[in-house]
Amino acid sequence: MEMVVFPNAKINLGLRITGKRPDDYHNIETIFYPVDLHDALEIVCAGDDVKQDMLKATGIRIDGKPEDNLVIKSVRKFRELYSFPFLRLHLHKAIPSGAGLGGGSSDAACILKIINRCFRFSLSLEELKVIALGLGSDCPFFIDYTPSFATGRGEILQPVASVLSGLYIVLVNPGISISTREAYENCIPGDPEESLFHLIDLPITMWKKMIINDFEKFVFMKYPEVGLIKQNLYSAGALYSSMSGSGSSVYGIFQDKTEIPDSLKKNVIFEGVLR
Total Cβ atoms within 10 A of residue 76: 12
Rounded to an integer, the average pLDDT of 229-256 is 97
Q: Are residues 150 and 177 in the same domain?
A: no
Q: Are residues 175 and 230 in the same domain?
A: yes
- 176-192 as b/e: b if 16+ CB within 10 A: bebeeeebbeebeeeee
| pLDDT number for residue 1 | 77
**Which CATH number is 244's domain given?**
3.30.70.890
Least confident residue range of 27-41, 43-57, 183-197: 43-57
Domain carrying residue 215: 168-273
Rounded to an integer, the average pLDDT of 65-78 is 91
Q: Are residues 176 and 53 in the same domain?
A: no
Active site residues: 10, 138
On the question of pLDDT at 48 being above 80, the answer is no
Which domain-ending residue is among 125, 159, 193? 159
On the question of pLDDT at 65 being above 90, the answer is no
| pLDDT number for residue 231 | 97
Number of domains in the chain: 2
Q: Are residues 62 and 118 in the same domain?
A: yes
Q: How confident is the model at residue 74 (pLDDT cuts 50, 70, 90)?
A: very high
| pLDDT number for residue 223 | 97
**Mean pLDDT across the chain, nearest whole number?**
95
